[in-house]
Amino acid sequence: MVEGKRKRYSNPLSFVLFAVGLSSALNYWACTRGGTLEAEAPVSIDAYQWQFIGFMNQWFNVILFCGIPVNALLSYWLYKGKGYNYAEHLMLNGLLRGASLLLFCAFTPLLRWYGDLWFTWIGIYFVVWIGYFAFTYMGFFRTRGIAGALRALLGPVLTILLVNSAMWLLFGIFHFRFFTSF
C-alpha cells in the first residue's frame, strides 16, 4: 500500500527468469551464428578458448542463476551492519542481475557481428556491470567516499572472480574428462 492505494508490482523472480531467458537465447544466437559453435570460431580465438565459450553458452542460464546467491551473500557480508537480511540482499541482487542481463542483451549484437573481439566486448560488459552494481550499492546502502566506493566495487568484483573461477574449474574437469583420452 502506497498512500492508501494498492500498488501492483511485477514479481522479481519473473523478471529475472525473463531476463535470463532472453539473454540466454540472444547469447546462443550470438555465439553460434545459427550453426554449430565449432564451425564458426573466429580466427583470433584459439580452439581451447572457443570450447570454453561453447561451455559458457551451453550452461549460460545456470551460471547466471548461480551468480545471484553468490552476489547476495557477498553484499550481505559487506553490508551486514546496514540491517538488511539475506533474503533482502537476494532480492536486490536478483533485480540487479535481471537489469544487467537486459544490458547484456544490448551487447549481444556486438558479440555476433564482431566475434573476433568477443573477449573485448565481454570485458567491456563486465566493467559496465561492475560500475552499475557499485553505483546501485552506494545509493541503496547510502555509502559515501572512497571507502564506500571500494566496498561497493568489492562485491561485484569478488562475484566475477568466484563464479568465473568455478566455471573455469568445471570446464577444466569437463574438458579433460570428455575431450582428452588417457
Ranges of residues in the chain with a pLDDT under 70 are 1-10, 30-46, 57, 60, 111, 115-116, 118, 175-182
Question: What is the model's pTM?
Answer: 0.71
Over the stretch 85-124, which tens digit does the pLDDT of each residue have? 898 888 888 888 888 888 888 877 776 777 667 678 778 8
Provide the pLDDT for residue 97. 84
User: Look-up: residue for cell 580465438?
Assistant: 45
